[in-house]
Chain A
């Protein structure tokens, strides 16, 4: 039993990371209807910025703040320069644009920082809490706490602030939002900035567990897609719950299903994506699009 709980804890730690990237995906999807395939790469690039700051001798937390601010600005800039011109274009165009962005950011990171792996400092202390034979590392606790904090901040932003209300209005009906006086373009850019910032958090959380290199987020992105699909692409809460479920499912499958082991674990998110699309395409918390008119 303790062994099982131990696996669940490990799964939650991994799941929290998937959740944070899924949250970024959902933010952009809600505002622009775009599935941003480059989200992971943007997160990776942000992580390099943090690494660069630390390498330059800045304390970790200052480096983090700089990274979040730069990521926010970068996200807004990408919306303005790359996404705005294709606004309203067919889905395939949008997919290709974000895939192009993926390749570009990946190559740019490799060009600037090379493809050699780099050690990324872990902001959380070593060691673990133990109870009833289950040990939870401070690292896992830290990751869970950070994701909970991000989720909480987003909730407050969307539910209790004027800007948040405006953002939800744009997500629900851009034309009507424009008519009540919301600057929709600015709001979309804000959404991309926010998503890039949340993505940066997930990159910084992943990097100490893996190694920092340009392809670091590739796997994580697949899990994040599974999380967002499971939770519902239009539900931030769903993204987080979906992320945790995917993390736990993957860990348990790896530990208890012999044929899967650690090599085939990546099959788990794919199976989840397929299953959800077949049986509940709107996801757990997503809205099936049925409305009275």
Chain B
């Protein structure tokens, strides 16, 4: 699924956060969004999943998505793993996963996908009947990604998957995101503070500063950029 974003303006009330973002993510690519706190990274994802009002153009394989509500976008195959993971705390792990497939009507393949999510995240299988709120942070992040996969997304949006997780758990999560991307050809947009990890799995990256994209390129090029290295990677090239 090719994602094309043009002149995207978004914000909350009168406060404008994004000032004309333009980016293209190719079919089956992973795109990393880097940038400092407050740059508008989360808002960009929220715009892509219909959670904030937008102006401009968002097209997924030609279908216009801008201005449509989140539930309609979910039906279009946009899965958003939100900041804070969006866990349905009192519901069981299994119910959380099934909710990911809420808009799907193909019951048989939902069961298959449940099985598939268990193979990606074996720990979830052992917790199926447990309240999701009792999972650890890392497990909840796995649950959130598993829930998103249950949609069989055409576009997967990940907001800070590493937030609050141990480095080992984070690496494991990114490895799985990469595997999912490779196996299912899901287009992924990932917002991430940990630039090393994000650039490690992404084909291309964009640097967002105060609502504008200030640098775009392949992951290697961005990694090699002196400015980025200083600001986000913590070393000089």
Chain A positions within 8 Å of B, measured between CB atoms, are 162, 165-166, 168-169, 172-173, 175-184, 287, 291-293
Contact = CB atoms under 8 A, between A and B. Distances in A.
B82 A179 contact: yes
Interface in B69-112: 69-71, 74-75, 79-80, 82, 86-91, 95, 98-100, 102-103
B126 interface: no
A26 to B, nearest CB: 14
B71 A173 contact: no
Number of chain B interface residues as a range: 20 to 34
A292 B69 contact: no
B98 A165 contact: yes
Q: Which of B51, B80, B90, B164 has the most CB of A within 10 A?
A: B90
Contacts of B80: 179
A292 B60 CA distance: 36
Interface of B: 49, 51, 69-71, 74-75, 79-80, 82, 86-91, 95, 98-100, 102-103, 133-137, 147, 151, 164
A155 to B, nearest CB: 15
A14 B74 CA distance: 47
Contact of A176 (B86, B103, B136, B164): B86
B3 to A, nearest CB: 17
A179 B70 contact: yes
Contacts of A292: 133-137
A291 B89 contact: yes
A180 B147 contact: yes
Contact of A181 (B74, B82, B95, B133): B74
Contacts of A173: 86-89
Given A180-B100, A180-B147, A175 B51 contact: yes
Contact of B90 (A175, A180, A183, A287): A287
Contacts of A169: 88, 91, 95, 99, 102
B140 to A, nearest CB: 8
A183 B91 contact: no
A175 B91 CA distance: 15
A175 B99 CA distance: 13
29 contacts: A162-B102, A165-B91, A165-B102, A168-B91, A168-B95, A169-B95, A169-B99, A172-B88, A172-B89, A172-B90, A172-B91, A173-B86, A173-B88, A175-B82, A176-B86, A176-B88, A178-B70, A179-B70, A179-B74, A179-B79, A179-B80, A180-B99, A181-B102, A181-B103, A181-B151, A182-B102, A287-B90, A291-B89, A293-B164
Given A183-B71, A291-B133, A176 B87 contact: yes
A177 B79 CA distance: 12
A179 B88 contact: no
B69 A178 contact: yes
Contact of B51 (A178, A181, A183, A293): A178
A105 B56 CA distance: 46
Given A177-B88, A182-B99, A292-B134, 11 more contacts: A162-B102, A165-B99, A169-B88, A169-B102, A175-B82, A176-B87, A176-B88, A177-B99, A179-B82, A181-B75, A291-B133
A177 B91 CA distance: 12
Contacts of A183: 71
Contacts of B88: 168-169, 172-173, 176-177
Contacts of A179: 49, 51, 70, 74, 79-80, 82, 86
Contacts of B134: 292
A129 B65 CA distance: 65
The 10 closest A-B pairs by CB, nearest first: A181-B74, A176-B86, A181-B103, A178-B70, A172-B88, A291-B133, A181-B71, A180-B102, A179-B80, A180-B99
Contacts of A172: 88-91
Point out which of A172, A176, A181, A287 has the most chain B C-beta atoms below 10 A from its C-beta: A181
B107 to A, nearest CB: 10
A166 B74 contact: no
Contacts of A168: 88, 90-91, 95
* Max count, chain A CB within 10 A of own CB: residue among B51, B99, B136, B147: B99
